[in-house]
Amino acid sequence: MSTKIKQRALDELPHVLHDPDTFARRLAGRTPALFLDYDGTLTPIVDRPEDAVIAPSMRQAVADLAQRCPVCVVSGRDRRTVQRLMGINDLIVAGSHGFDIWSPDDGHIEHAVGEEFGELMASVKQHVSAALADVDGAIVEPKAASVAVHYRLASAEGRRRIAAVVEDVLARHPNQLKQTPGKMVYEIQPQIDWDKGKAVHYLLDALDLNLEEIVPLYLGDDTTDEDAFQALSGHGIGIFVGALDDPEIAGRTSAADFILYNVDEVERFLRELDVEAD
């Protein structure tokens, strides 16, 4: 059983761009392999999920970096949705918090977890959508292996109703479903021992990146990204993305090693990341 590392307050994390020497020492001349969250990392958090289209400059920064080192996107979004929003077809993408992993290389590492829950998740999506149809601001987002219920735009009463519906679904299937917290969203998932951290380890093995000369880097902003930060502790680098004055992350702690304050800083980091040419 793995031991969870001690988490630190966000204001205790060194800033990558403000303390480049510390980051360079951690990198130690090795080749980075990047694992990037999508919402809140490559795009700002927006009110409606469908509006989170990656900016052209960020898209180019990711595409350019992918020509120099391994780059994978690990998102809570549906994998196909992420691919459509990014508009980059040659990246490895792990969607639904790592439940659905796909590679452009002839399916070389195509991998899906929880496929046996497909019928149940379809039923959950139908039930939740019907139960919340008259709740203003409730957005039900179906995914390959989960159902997300966004409540950012809902009123206080609407949020209470949304929470009650989610709790009812979980109570109906206590041994099959779980709820994973996120930023203004309830994520209803199969009760499987799988998360973003396990997805990253799977990708490292599948891509033959568990090498001394490779250092995995994970960038993310949400609570679900903590699984990846924990998974890479001791042999990788975790970078939390978020502003210290953001009320949505007030009081948060993280297992990450460094911090970037916003999406613009992420883009600058990706452009300035030192990758040794072959």
Quick one: pLDDT at residue 1? Answer: 43
Quick one: pLDDT at residue 231? Answer: 94
Kindly list the domain boundaries of the chain, sorted by start residue.
Answer: 8-113+194-272, 115-190
The answer, as to whether pTM is greater than 0.85, is no
Give mean pLDDT, residues 221-248: 94
Give mean pLDDT, residues 222-246: 94
Res 249 pLDDT > 60: yes
- Separation CA 172–CA 189 (nearest Å): 14
C-alpha pair distances (Å), 157 with each of 66, 171, 187, 248: 45, 21, 20, 19
Quick one: pLDDT at residue 194? Answer: 81
Res 110 pLDDT > 70: no
Catalytic residue among 21, 37, 134, 245: 37
Same fold for the pair 8-113+194-272 and 115-190? no
pLDDT digits (tens, 9 = 90+) for 111-165: 666 778 888 989 999 999 999 999 999 999 887 778 999 999 999 999 999 999 9
CB burial of 3-35 (b: ≥16 within 10 Å; e: otherwise) equals: eeeeeeebeebeebeeeeeebeebbeeebbbbb
Res 2 pLDDT > 60: no
Q: What is the mean pLDDT of the chain?
A: 90
Quick one: pLDDT at residue 5? Answer: 76
Res 3 pLDDT > 70: no
Q: Average the pLDDT over each of 37-41, 104-108, 233-237, 259-263 and give the range with the smallest value.
A: 104-108
pLDDT digits (tens, 9 = 90+) for 69-80: 999 999 888 888
- At residue 102 the predicted structure's pLDDT band, cuts being 50, 70 and 90, is confident
Query: Does the domain made of 115-190 have the CATH classification 3.90.1150.10?
Result: no
Give mean pLDDT, residues 202-222: 92
Quick one: pLDDT at residue 274? Answer: 81
C-alpha pair distances (Å), 185 with each of 32, 45, 96, 154, 173: 31, 12, 13, 11, 19
- Look up 37 and say whether it is catalytic: yes
Overall fold of domain 8-113+194-272: Rossmann fold (3.40.50)
DSSP H or E segment with residue 93: strand 92-95
